[in-house]
Amino acid sequence: MSAGQVLISRDEIRARTLALAQEVTLALPPGPVHAVVILKSAIFFGVDLIRALGREASLGFLFASSYGDSAESAGAVALSADALGRVTGQNVLLIDDILDTGNTLAAAAETLRALRPASLRTCVLLDKPSRRQVPFEADHVGFPIEDVFVVGYGMDFGGRFRTLPDIRVYRQEKK
């Protein structure tokens, strides 16, 4: 089993993240932002994006786990909000690595909205529009991609490949 060819290189990720950070900063209301990163897979992107925002930011985390095998989202998403921080009345930026079926971000946005933030924007590095099961669009998207399973830069297959610096198409080696 190994990760396949590079889909998005570390240099492309870096350049796009800096541009996205500018775009997000321009769209945010003035003042501090509460950035909420969905763990674990958005950790690398979240850190890089938040550091590039021209804003004072407080940090919160949502831990998402979906049931089913690692390459197919089963639709049900369990969210743990223990480390969410203060959302009520704040300008919140919700950050995820990939918008796939939409189940995770739809559930995360609903959790946050229930806490009545002053505003809520969403930013994802990757978007697979062809995979959507629930209607959800992110306000800011790094790269739209085809229906391929990717690993690296925080994204895993069964817990592996998260620390690869580039985003690669995952492939299962034939035995």
Among 150, 153, 166, 168, binds ligand IMP (CB under 6 A): 150
Among 34, 50, 100, 142, binds ligand IMP (CB under 6 A): 100
Side-chain-facing half-sphere of 82: CA atoms under 13 Å: 5
- Distance in angstroms (rounded) separating the CA atoms of residues 95 and 124: 6
Q: What angle do helix axes 10-27 and 43-52 make, rounded to 10 degrees?
A: 60
Count the site residues for ligand IMP by CB under 6 A: 19
The answer to whether residue 41 forms part of the interface with Mg ion (CB under 5 A) is yes
Beta strands in the chain (DSSP E): 2-8, 33-39, 57-66, 77-80, 91-99, 119-127, 140-144, 150-151, 167-171
**CB under 5 to 8 A by kind: which of ligand IMP, Mg ion, none does 73 bind?**
ligand IMP
Q: Which of residues 67-96 bind ligand IMP (CB under 6 A)?
A: 73, 77, 96
**CB under 5 to 8 A by kind: which of Mg ion, ligand IMP, none does 17 bind?**
none
Question: If we measure between CA atoms, which residue out of 76, 48, 65 comes closest to residue 158?
Answer: 65
Helix and strand element counts for the chain (H, E):
3, 9
The answer to whether residue 99 forms part of the interface with ligand IMP (CB under 6 A) is yes
Q: Which of residues 90-149 bind Mg ion (CB under 5 A)?
A: 97
Judged by the rule CB under 5 A, the positions of this chain that interact with Mg ion are 41, 97
Catalytic positions, please? 100
Judged by the rule CB under 6 A, the positions of this chain that interact with ligand IMP are 38, 41, 66, 73, 77, 96-105, 149-151, 155
